[in-house]
Amino acid sequence: NAGVTQTPKFRILKIGQSMTLQCAQDMNHNYMYWYRQDPGMGLKLIYYSVGAGITDKGEVPNGYNVSRSTTEDFPLRLELAAPSQTSVYFCASSYSSRNTQGETQYFGPGTRLLVL
């Protein structure tokens, strides 16, 4: 299994440009997540999905959109890039979010985004 994969690894955007961060997992996990990581702030949840066709906002959703047309893929869309979106973005997946058995979230390698 490749686990959770993300593309691209690094991207520079100009203010106002748009882009899609790709995320895919091959573990047949039904839950998927997008986080952003900023220095000294830990990880903040942007959006998450409990299954194909179902998405919901996390803690910091403004400026982002997601879709989940398949179990495997969970792309994150930035429509109008802003300097405040400069960050490292991590995608994660888990079998369940209920954590009744302490299900682990598995993380991708991250996408480093710089908005100038």
Partner 1 sequence: AQSVSQHNHHVILSEAASLELGCNYSYGGTVNLFWYVQYPGQHLQLLLKYFSGDPLVKGIKGFEAEFIKSKFSFNLRKPSVQWSDTAEYFCAVTSSNTGKLIFGQGTTLQVKP
Residue 110 as a binder of partner 1 (CB under 8 A): the answer is yes
* Cβ distance to partner 1 smaller for residue 18 or 96: 96
Which one among 33, 34, 47, 74 touches partner 1, defined by CB under 8 A? Answer: 33
For residues 40 and 69, give the distance between their C-alpha atoms in angstroms, rounded to a whole number.
34
Which residues does 10 contact at the CB level (< 8 Å), separation at least 6?
Answer: 111, 112, 113, 114
* Cβ distance to partner 1 smaller for residue 24 or 110: 110
Which residues does 107 contact at the CB level (< 8 Å), separation at least 6?
Answer: 4, 90, 91, 92
To the nearest whole angstrom, how small is the minimum distance from the Cβ of residue 2 to partner 1?
Answer: 13
For residues 3 and 13, give the distance between their C-alpha atoms in angstroms, rounded to a whole number.
27
Pattern 46-85, partner 1, x by CB under 8 A: --x---------x---------------------------
DSSP conformation class of 73: B
What is the binding site for partner 1 (CB under 8 A)?
33, 35, 40-45, 48, 58, 90, 92, 96-102, 104-105, 107-110
